[in-house]
Amino acid sequence: MRRRLFCSTAVLAAVWAGGAEAQTAPPMPVPPVVRVRGAVAGLSGETLTVDTRDGQKLEIAFPEKATVASVKKTDLASIKPGDFIGTATRTGTDGTMQAIEVLVFPEAARGTGEGSYPWDLEPGSTMTNGTVKGAVTAAKGRELSIGFKDSGNTVIVPEGTPIVTLAPASRDDLKPGTKVFLVATKGADGKLTAMRATVGKDGVNPPM
């Protein structure tokens, strides 16, 4: 009886393993993401209104628990192997990846958005988030080797490229006219909600 029970259990395990994918419920759909760049038109309660760079006026739900950060300038020479960065790039005429901006993440944000994927800072741009594996001086600027997951990119950072890191800010910094960047999710009803905003402060605007 014990042997029969063991065999039955083994058969059930094999059947489950073979059919697990079919038995698993489909994943929940991921809400569409909208990147918003522009200037704050106003903040009223939990509604943030933004005049976007393409001429729209968007009302975005921005709950009290949402966070606000700013950016501050940092130095390209201070970027070292082991740092986790994000850089938007365009493809140069010679086929190299040329940085449009670089964000040095604080250690607590390591792993954010890791990978390389299309970006919308400008047509055809790409975002690469990963760990700096090496940095050398190149003819056209600084060359960064960036590793992510099982791959990597080499990016040239030309002189004059905005290099920033995150800095503290608050809802009080969401003043009309202040430059802002945020990533919002679009609900089934079309309404936008954001849980984080990055604002310009002390003359430094979000370059991403």
pLDDT, residue 137, reads: 77
pTM attached to this predicted model: 0.82
Query: Which residue in this structure is represented by tokens 């003043």?
Result: 175
Quickly name the fold that domain 33-70+166-199 has.
Answer: OB fold (Dihydrolipoamide Acetyltransferase, E2P) (2.40.50)
Domain locations along the chain: 33-70+166-199, 75-163
Query: How many Å apart are CA 82 and CA 39, to the nearest integer?
Result: 34
Query: How many Å apart are CA 206 and CA 208, to the nearest integer?
Result: 6
The pair of three-digit structure tokens given for residue 66, joined into one six-digit string: 């949402």
pLDDT, residue 41, reads: 98
How many other CB atoms are there within 10 angstroms of residue 132's CB atom?
18
Average pLDDT of the chain is: 87
Query: Which residue in this structure is represented by tokens 């522009």?
Result: 38
Where the chain has pLDDT below 50, the residues are: 1-24
How many other CB atoms are there within 10 angstroms of residue 201's CB atom?
20
pLDDT, residue 26, reads: 56
CB-based contacts of 146: which residues, under 8 Å, 6+ apart? 85, 87, 128, 130, 131, 132, 133, 152, 153, 154, 155
pLDDT, residue 21, reads: 40
Query: How many Å apart are CA 56 and CA 187, to the nearest integer?
Result: 18
For 88-143, how does the pLDDT look when each residue is reduced to its tens digit (9 = 90+)?
A: 999 999 999 999 999 999 999 999 999 999 999 999 999 999 999 998 876 667 89
Task: Say if residues 125 and 100 touch (Cβ distance below 8 Å).
Answer: yes
Query: Which residue in this structure is represented by tokens 């697990």?
Result: 20
